[in-house]
Amino acid sequence: MSRFIFVCYQHGYGGESLAVEISKLEICNPLEHEKQEKRTWTQDHFNKLFLKPYNPEWKHKVHPTVDNKKYYVVPSHYRPETLRELFPMALYVVINSPTTKEGLQSLNNRIYKNVWLTKHKRLDQKIGYFILNAGHSPDRRQLKELAKDITNGEIQCVIHRVMKNRNNIKSIFKKSRKHNTPDFLYQNEHKLITISYDDRMDKKTDSIMSWLTKNKIHI
């Protein structure tokens, strides 16, 4: 049976880049990825299933796995308790949410700067971002806008059918953050290790790497 390390986190915590770092361990299969400006885009074993909005039928969308002595690293917005229903033997790394006012402001600033003000290189990536955030495919007029050189914040304007300008981008961003409460607050336990948002931003990951190597399943 295949082995997995799930990196669980909420949007904006740097989970995909952490998953890539973890995949460089000797016990793991390298995680395919590419860098775009300040963001890391991965192509994981489940085709980014667990980075999409929650699907009640997710268990039926997991494709067959293959035997492998090394771990597949999978970034995930799904919670560990949900994934454990199908992957009880997996290892879990959780990036805990910031809990201070300063930490929450840092998170919002990071998301706005590193996501909303950045761009995708390819049209298919812009369409993917549109669908992820709108919940449906763009119509012909919206597709024409996506073909232009636009930021993710401007794509949000296209989704909401408003003028593409900084005021509208900021307004949509503030509304979106009101519906995204940071609530990943886990403790270390069997087969699960946590890292704080602050430590993730400071790249303090040595303890995680050591724990994963120590807790790997022996063949």
| Per-domain residue ranges of the chain | 3-97+182-215, 101-178
Q: Do the beta carbons of residue 97 and residue 16 sit within 8 Å?
A: no
Statement: residue 67 has pLDDT above 80: no
Band of pLDDT at residue 34, cut at 50, 70 and 90:
confident
pLDDT reported for residue 121:
87
Statement: residue 2 has pLDDT above 90: no
Q: Which residues of 135-159 are buried (b: 16+ CB within 10 A; e: fewer)?
A: eeebeeebeebbeeebbbbbbbbbb
Report percent pLDDT > 70 for the chain.
97
pTM: 0.88
Statement: residue 188 has pLDDT above 60: yes
Band of pLDDT at residue 218, cut at 50, 70 and 90:
low
- Over residues 201-206, mean pLDDT: 94
Q: Which residues of 63-82 are buried (b: 16+ CB within 10 A; e: fewer)?
A: eeeeeeeebbbbbbbbbbee
Which amino acid is located at 32 in the chain? E
